[in-house]
Each structure stands twice: as structure tokens, then as C-alpha cells.
Amino acid sequence: MTTTASTTAEEKKVATITLTIDGKKVEAPKGVTVLEAALGADIYIPTLCYDPDLKPYGACRLCVVEIDGMRGIVSSCTTPAADKMVVHTETPKVNQARRIAIELIMANHIGDCLTCAKNQQCELQKVARYLGIEQEHFDRLRKGTRVLPIDKSHPAFDRDHNKCILCGRCVRACQEIAGVGAIDLAYRGYAAKVSTFGDKPIHDSICESCGECIARCPTGALVPKRTRQATRHVKTICPYCGVGCSIYLGMRGNEIVEVQGDRESPVNKGGLCVKGRFGFDFVNHPSRLTKPLIRKEGKGKDIQVNGNFKDIFREATWDEALDLVAKRLNQIKEKYGPDSIGVLSSAKCTNEENYLLQKFTRAVIGTNNIDHCARL
Amino acid sequence: MSFEEIKRQAASEWKAMQNSPIPRILIGTATCGMAAGAETIMEALNAELAKNNIKADIIQVGCIGLCYAEPLFEVIKPGKPGVFYGDLTPELVAEIIRDWLVGDNPRPDLALGTRGEGTLKGIPKLFELPVLKPQVRIVLRNCGNIDPTNIGHYIANGGYEGFIKALKMKPQEIIDEMKKSGLRGRGGAGFPTGMKWQFCHDAPGTVKYIVCNADEGDPGAFMDRAVMEGDPHAVLEGMLIGAYAIGASEGYVYIRAEYPLAIKRLVVALKQMEECGLLGDNILGSGFNFHIKIKEGAGAFVCGEETALMASIEGNRGMPRSRPPFPAQSGLWGKPTNINNVETWANVSAILQKSASWFASYGTEKSKGTKTFSLVGKVVRTGLIEVPMGITLREIIYGIGGGIPGGKKYKATQTGGPSGGCLPTSFLDSPVDYESLAAAGSIMGSGGMVVMDETTCMVDVARYFLNFTQSESCGKCVMCRLGTKQMLDILQDIVNGKGRPGDIELLLEVGDAIKNGSLCALGGTAPNPVQTTIRYFRDEYEAHINEKRCPALACRPLISYYIIPEKCQGCGICIRACTSEAIKGGKRMVHVIDQSKCAKCGTCLDVCPAKFSAVAISSGAPVKAPAEPVPVGGKA
């Protein structure tokens, strides 16, 4: 173990480059971009289309820098850092391009920040504030006129093209992380927008609702339907399946209002599926069963439940319910034999629970009729 | 069959055709010829030949470049020089057949010129005409001369000799030859071709690709189309040579789907190459394998940008990506890739057929060889031209083009399409080469050359090109997508009389940011038309903004048509022609245009008899005309 660790450290040492950013000597691992080298050395460069989980894209043009020996200004997010590179992140040329870029974005953005679901969490807001918009200059710009309908087709989130800045993070997340490709850029020029195949509502597309796009949208273009700000976050494990994705539950009191993937988790690296991300409303749902139910006498199985379970079932204690189950299983086993019983386990159980259930089925009941919902 | 045998056969067939005892008629049926009516002419030709019982060979050839005279054909009577006739109609065809093929009168009154040995009285030699004399045809060497669907014609004219020569050379020797020739990329940027090949040649990897960029998209440009339609093998031979030099075994021609005839010609040419053993595995027994695929573009201008083009071939949305990595390191499917434009490839085959020093003898010190241009706009002789680098704009416009029609005044020339700029009168005597054009704020571009006269409004020209780049921006980067939209909106306001003080500075400022900050060259050059017109025609912008006046009298919202009371004879022609019922007046009453109804279509100006010339346009000032009709001559 010790040898391996030292070799890795040595390799790392060899694979380090040194560059100068704004006069500061910066060490960075070989293979990173200029932007990553700067961010790693606590030198802030504004970005909107950059995402550490996605391939470099170079669309927002805010991360532009000047590099000695290179012509003009280049986007630092797409330029590989090289040894002895001299980078300037704030020059008149750079600042002018950045200012125009952010002003152009703002001139074409619906400015309803106070009522926007992303207010104060919006990256565009932050970057605009950092760069500073010159009101007088901004007023001279022609403002965008395009108004597109909001796609509300999805039960979990809305898509508002009017707030989209075409950073492409959603498109890339869908392709690179989810591997789905439900959305891409469509049309050209000013008419360009993120679209599904055939420009259908997102709910009618091949979207798998994993929400990777929503987690990455820098603006209010992609927001969950019910957005309420959490007051605290609780780290836990997603209960839906045995993968064990690490999550943060955003809480208001004892109510879950959002779920975020844990980027530090080696299991899911921040990624989540539709259930983990959006399937939390059952927790506080009034229909949720919190006590075992036992069928009332004389209420046959042919009666439809229709949500009105209290007519058919009565609440019971766990002891009573388990006693009943044990009794009935024994009766059935004696009367019809162990193979008349089948047991179905759930992906929501842990591996240990699943192990126990198959042991119980085989050793206690005496049948091999044990299966699992993941095989269905 | 060995290549030597193929060549011998091609040569003897070519010779037999030259010495054929029956007349030959070469008709230009490239897209331009077809659009001008070549099909009707062919029908008339066949009918007339049948009627007069004349047996003749009709050969469909590519474009010879004399667009202004289309449709045209060359009639070659055995033993006589070929005679070109232009502006053909079925009636003229009948006359020419009757007089020259049945009779013995070559009709000097209809003929454009002669080609080949011998002379005919009263008809000049075609290539001695001012339109062709300054031209040097390297890329267009076979266009209009050979049947593009017959590989034998190409081979008989020296075709594939360059490739044969290349096969006997080492790849590095070929690259050195390219460097020596001084050839630079004809797609517009002018990067030295030999150097580009060297990068790709030196890049590690066994799988490499070469691509022919045939996504010609500039408005008003049609050079590449003409080459592919008129001489496809010249391009394909260039690709063969490039593939051999670089070490590629697969190539693509990325061609826009709007060029169906060029695609057809390429497909035929590729099949013939295979039949002759010039394409496929173990080409001519050399062990060199090369395959070419045609990829049709879906009509996006940005796909002419190399990284977008490669994305499109890969099946992705055609959007550029940042470089590095350059295609020579990581191109198509991540493999080293070399992309050259159609015209560059056609030059490559010529250079290997002749020699690097022969090629370098044309042009200037830094810009060698020739350049094709599509000469269009306000010029007497529009056409596809090929001139040595370093020729002046004046020689092109006034020599080859024959000057400005209608006695109008020259104003500017736009080179480089939407990425280029407008050059005013002061550049008429500047040489046309990469450096001079760049110094003037324009670019060489792929070869669009649009001539403008005094009736062209430069603000409107800038608006037109910005409209084009804006709608063709891929939408990926902020600068191009929103920056060009911003500039377009401002220009739109200016031509509509809603320009504000400070707009010129704003245009320049946003333009600078777009140029500096865009991801690819589309955005990086999009402000050029605006910046050059501001640089050279700032007064026009100022007139639009400050005086709400269009000096060229072209921007409709800023002009008014009016009838000059002293000139109007009250004839009523304009009243009847007006589509908006905006003209009041009666017999012998001076007509008056109701400005609130006038749609500014200009019909009244067109129909007013020239002897009266009573309709005029004003801009930036109230019209000098009475409000109501008054008697002509002031008499009741």
C-alpha cells in the first residue's frame, strides 16, 4: 500500500505544470484547462457554460483570457493549460468582451428576478453582479423581443425558454451523463433554442426525467414545479434502491422540499434518477400508510379499495399484524405445502434485508419461490 | 487495363473527336446555363438539326464563365475554329444552324468569338476579348472544354498525370512541392496548403482522413459549384494526391445538398475512377488504398467552418468547437484530418501535373497562382472569372467586367461574402491578394465579388449581410448569436429612420467584441461588412441617423417619390400603373403622389416616359410638389 501511494504521489509530481496567471505562479496537474488551473489557484474567472462534470464547450465567452503568444483572446475553459504559459485574466480587451457578452445576455433575458424561482441562486445574476452592468450603456442596447411559451408538460419541472441562455449544460448533461440525448439545440441564429426531437413538449420526448439538466441549469429556465427554499440540508442515502446514492435532503422544518445529489459520493458523484430526485412527495403525503392494516371481517378481496381503505381495513399494531401473517403462513404451508407460497422482495430493501428474506423463504418456509422486483 | 493504356485510348478518342467529320456543338449545361434556359436551347438545337438533316455531336460541357451571355454554345464545324454564340433563343438557334451549318455564314453579328486554330472574318478570338484576355485558367482549365461525365476527356487533357507523378514521389517530396508552389487555402483564410499537409502528415496515427470542403455558402458565390460541375476530376485528382501525401485512406466530399448537379457529376466521376482503377484498394497496383464518400450537407452556412463540418459528417449538429485541438491533430472521429476547399484541391492537381515553379510564376510574392471569383452585381459582364493574384480591382471590374452598366458611378466592391468587407473607389488600384484585402479590412474569402454602384445604400448592404450571418449563426456562442442580432437590430433601426445618436459607436464597439470574443470565424468575421462600411462610408450612416436621409435613395422608409410639376405633362400613365391608387390628377393636370398612400414601389418612376422624366425621389427633405393637382404649365 505504501509503495503504491508513493508512486502515485511521484507520478503526480512529474505530471505537474507551472503557469503564471495574473503574475501569480500557479501549479496545476497536467491535462487541465486554463480555467481549471485558475480556479484551482483561487483565481476567479466568470463562467456560465462551464461545468466540471461536462466536456468543455466554450459558448458563453465569459471565461475569455489573454495568453502570451496566442492571437487575440481565447476561452480559458477550452484551452489546455501548458507549462510556462502566461495568462492574463483581466485586460482591457478581455473586460470589454466580457462586459458586452453579459450585457447581450441580459438584454435578451426576462428580468423578473424578484419573482423568479432561481432568485439569489441564479448564476447569471451572480456573474452579472460580478462583472457590473453599466446602466447607461445597457440602455442603448436593443432589447430582445422573442417570447416563447413555457413548456409545463412535465409533472416535475417547467422549461422556460425565455430565461434560457443556451449554455448547453442541460444538453450536455443529457448526453454525457444521462446518456439519453432527449434534448439538443435546434434552429439557427437568434431562433436557436434547446429542443426535443420534433420540438415536442418535454413530456412527450424520450426524456427519462432524471433531472440532471435541472441540477445544472444556471438560470430559471429549468426549475422544479414546486420550488420552496430549503432552510437546511440533511445528508442521507436514497431509499429507493440498493445502489445507495448519497443525497442531501433540503428541509423546511420536517418537510422535504428538494433533493440534491451528493457530488462527493463515490457511488453517484452527484447523479440521481427520477425517483431519487423527484419522488419525495410521498413522505408527507396524507395517503401514506404509517401503520399496518388488517382486512375487516366479511370484506372480501373482490371489493374495490378506491382509496377508501378505512371501510375495508382496520388499523393494527405491528405485533398483531406480524402474528397474523405468521399464523396464516403456517396454515397455508400445512394445508397446501411450502411451494404454494411465493415471496417477492423489493429493491427498496438493503442487501442485508434481501439476504434475510431469501433465507427466511428457503429455510423457514421451505420453498425456493423467492424473487425480487428488480427482475420484473 | 494499365493507366498507360487508358491514357492512350483516351488520347486517341479525343483526337478522333477533334478530327471528326461531323460538326460538334458544345453547350454549357452547368446549373447557371440550365437556369438561363440551356434546356430549351438544346431542344431547339435538336429540332433544328433534325429539320435540316444535319448529323452533329452535342456535348454538354461545364461553365465557361460568361454568365452574362448565357445560354451559350460553341459550334465547331470540321476544319474551322469553334464559334461561340451567346444570349441564345430558339429563333437564334435556327438562324445559326441555317446560316453556319447549312450555309457558310458564321454570323459575325451574333458570334462572341472563336476558339481553336484558324480565324473567321469579322469574329474576334474569344480569349483575346477583354473579358477573357486578363484571365489565367488553372482551376477552370477544363471547364467548358470537356465533357465532365467523361473521364477520358479529362485524361486526354493531362488528367491524373499529376497523381501518376505523385505516386513516384515520396510523400514528403509532394508536401515540399506544395510548399514550394506557395499555394494557400482557397476557402478564404489563405493558410499555406503545404504546411497544413505537413501537420497532418506528421501527426501520429495510422488512420487519417482528408476532406474536400464543398459547402460553398457565401451569397453570390458559385466558383466551387462550377468546378465540380465542369471538371470534377480536377478536384478528385487533387484529393488523391493529398491522401497519398498525408497517408489517408479515406476521404469525404462535404457538399451542400443544394448542388444536385455537382453531386451527380461527382458520383459519376467517382464511379469512373473506380472503373479505371484510380480509386479503391491497391490503386494502379501501387499498394495505396483510397476511398471517397460524398456527404451531403443540410444547408447550414456554418458547416463550411471546418470543425462544424466535421461534426456534421459525424452525424452531430453542425456547430463549431474551439481549437486546439486542430483537425490535423484531432479531427474527424478524433483522427488527424486535413480539410481543403474545392478550389485548393483543383489547384493541387494542376501543380502536380505541371510544376510548383510554374504555379508560383503566377501571382504576387506572398499570394501565388490564380483565384477564381464570381463577379456579380452592378457590372456589365457578370461571370465566373479566374485571374492571377495581384491583379487590380480596376482591371477586374472595368476590364473583365466591362464597367458599371447604365453609366452609373462605381461605389464599392464587396469581397469575401458575409465575412468580407466593402472596398471603396480608393482601392480600385490595389492588388487583389490576401494581404492587401486584409489590410483594407476585408478578406479574400472564397471568391464572391459583388460590385455596387451609386444606387446601392451601404448601410442597407451591411444590414443585408448581417441578416445573413445572424440567421446562419449556429447559435452556440453568445457573441455571434446575440451580438449579430444586436448589430442587425441597430442597422434595421437605422435604415428605418429610427437610428439614434451613438449607434455608430455602439456598432463599432459591439462589432469589436464579437470579432475578439467569438468562438469561430463566422462570428469573428461577421462584423466586417459593418465595420468596413462605417470606415469608408461613415457619412452615409450619419445621413441616415441624423438627417433621416438615404444618400443612395434606396432605403424605402427614408425616401419619397414625387412628381416634378414643371416636367409632368399630365399623361396619366403613372396613375394607371400605380398599384396603391396613390396618384391624383387628371388629363393635362400635374399629377400628385399622396405620400400617405404611396407604397414606394417605384413603378411610377419606371413607367414615366423618358422624354418627360417627371418622377423623382427625395430623401431627408420635404418633397417639392404641390399638395393637389394643378394644371400643366400653370395654365387653367
Give pLDDT, residue A1: 39
Q: Which CATH number fits domain B9-128: 3.40.50.720, 3.40.30.10, 3.30.70.1350, 3.90.1150.10?
A: 3.40.30.10
Q: Which of B321, B482, B514 would you mutate first to test chain A, the one with the most A CBs within 10 A? A: B482
**CA distances (Å), B20 to each of B55, B79, B80, B99, B270, in order?**
11, 9, 12, 21, 29
Residue in chain A nearest B316 by alpha carbon: A184
**CB–CB of A188 and B493 under 8 A?**
no
A92 pLDDT band, cuts 50/70/90, is very high
ipTM value of the model?
0.90
Peptide bond between residue A224 and the one before it cis (omega within 30 degrees of 0) = no
Report the CATH number of the B370-453 domain: 3.10.20.600
Q: Is 80 exceeded by the pLDDT of residue A301?
A: no
Q: What angle do CA A200, A201, A202 make, to 5 degrees?
A: 110
User: With contacts defined as CB-CB under 8 Å, which chain B residues touch A107?
Assistant: 482, 486
Give pLDDT, residue A4: 45
The total of other beta-carbon atoms located within 10 Å of residue A370's CB is 18
**CA atoms of B276 and B3, how far apart (whole Å):** 8
CB neighbour burial string for B243-253, b if at least 16 within 10 angstroms, e if fewer? bbbbbbbbbbb
SS3 category, B203: coil
**CB–CB of A192 and B473 under 8 A?**
yes
C-alpha atoms less than 13 angstroms from C-alpha of A3 in its C-beta half-sphere: 0
**In whole angstroms, how large is the CA radius of gyration of chain A?**
28
What residue has cell string 426576462? Answer: A110
Instruction: Looking at the complex, report in whole angstroms how far the Cα of residue B46 sits from the nearest Cα belonging to chain A.
Output: 47
Q: Is 90 exceeded by the pLDDT of residue A307?
A: no
Give pLDDT, residue B56: 95
Instruction: Looking at the complex, report in whole angstroms how far the Cα of residue B69 sits from the nearest Cα belonging to chain A.
Output: 37
Q: Which of A47, A71, A102, A142 would you mutate first to test chain B, the one with the most B CBs within 10 A? A: A142
Q: Which of A140, A146, A172, A185 would you mutate first to test chain B, the one with the most B CBs within 10 A? A: A140
* Stretches in chain B below the pLDDT threshold 70: 634-636
Peptide bond between residue B424 and the one before it cis (omega within 30 degrees of 0) = no
**CA atoms of A255 and A249, how far apart (whole Å):** 9
**CB–CB of A168 and B516 under 8 A?**
no
A46 touches chain B (CB under 8 A): no
Q: Does domain B160-360 have CATH number 3.40.50.11540?
A: yes
% of chain A residues with pLDDT over 70: 95
At a CB cut-off of 8 Å and minimum separation 6, what does A183 contact? A170, A171, A174, A194, A195, A196, A202, A205, A207, A213
**CA atoms of B109 and B95, how far apart (whole Å):** 12
Chain A 278-317, residues with CB within 8 Å of chain B CB atoms: none
- What sign does the CA torsion over B542, B548, B552, B554 have? positive
User: With contacts defined as CB-CB under 8 Å, which chain A residues touch B512?
Assistant: 96
Q: What angle do CA A74, A75, A81 make, to 5 degrees?
A: 90
**CB–CB of B502 and A140 under 8 A?**
yes
A3 pLDDT band, cuts 50/70/90, is very low
Residue in chain A nearest B517 by alpha carbon: A97
Instruction: Looking at the complex, report in whole angstroms how far the Cα of residue A131 sits from the nearest Cα belonging to chain B.
Output: 15
| CB-neighbour burial class of residue A372 (10 A; exposed 0-12, middle 13-18, buried 19+) | middle
**CA atoms of A162 and B238, how far apart (whole Å):** 49
Q: Which structural domains are found in chain A, ordered by start?
A: 14-142 (3.10.20.740), 146-227 (3.30.70.20), 232-278 (2.20.25.90), 317-375 (no CATH)
- What sign does the CA torsion over B338, B343, B347, B349 have? positive
A305 pLDDT band, cuts 50/70/90, is low
Instruction: Looking at the complex, report in whole angstroms how far the Cα of residue A170 sits from the nearest Cα belonging to chain B.
Output: 13
**pLDDT single digits (tens) A11-49:** 555 589 999 999 999 999 999 999 999 999 999 999 999
Instruction: Looking at the complex, report in whole angstroms how far the Cα of residue A38 sits from the nearest Cα belonging to chain B.
Output: 19
Reference A250, options A268, A229, A267; nearest CA is A229
**CA atoms of A49 and A168, how far apart (whole Å):** 7
SS3 category, B210: strand
As given in the structure block, the three cell numbers for residue A179 are 446518456
**CA atoms of B300 and A180, how far apart (whole Å):** 25
* B35 vs A8, more confident: B35
Q: Which of A104, A143, A187 would you mutate first to test chain B, the one with the most B CBs within 10 A? A: A104
Ranges of each domain in chain B: 9-128, 160-360, 370-453, 458-546, 556-634
Residue in chain A nearest B524 by alpha carbon: A72
For domain B458-546, which architecture applies? Up-down Bundle (1.20)
The total of other beta-carbon atoms located within 10 Å of residue B435's CB is 14
**pLDDT single digits (tens) A342-353:** 999 988 888 899
Instruction: Looking at the complex, report in whole angstroms how far the Cα of residue B307 sits from the nearest Cα belonging to chain A.
Output: 13
Reference B14, options B66, B57, B68, B74; nearest CA is B57
Q: Is 90 exceeded by the pLDDT of residue A242?
A: no
At a CB cut-off of 8 Å and minimum separation 6, what does B424 contact? B411, B412, B536, B537
Chain A 49-68, residues with CB within 8 Å of chain B CB atoms: 56-62, 64
Chain A 131-150, residues with CB within 8 Å of chain B CB atoms: 140-142, 144
CB contacts < 8 Å between A and B, how many?
A: 120
Give pLDDT, residue A308: 72
Adjacency order of strands within the sheet including A232-237: A232-237, A246-252, A255-261
B505 touches chain A (CB under 8 A): no
A187 touches chain B (CB under 8 A): yes
At a CB cut-off of 8 Å and minimum separation 6, what does A64 contact? A73, A74, A75, A76, A94, A97, A98, B516, B517
DSSP B160: T
Task: Give the containing element (helix H, strand E) for B376.
Answer: strand B370-377
Q: Does domain B556-634 have CATH number 1.20.1440.230?
A: no
A171 touches chain B (CB under 8 A): no
Reference B69, options B104, B3, B113, B14; nearest CA is B113
pLDDT averaged over every residue in chain A:
91
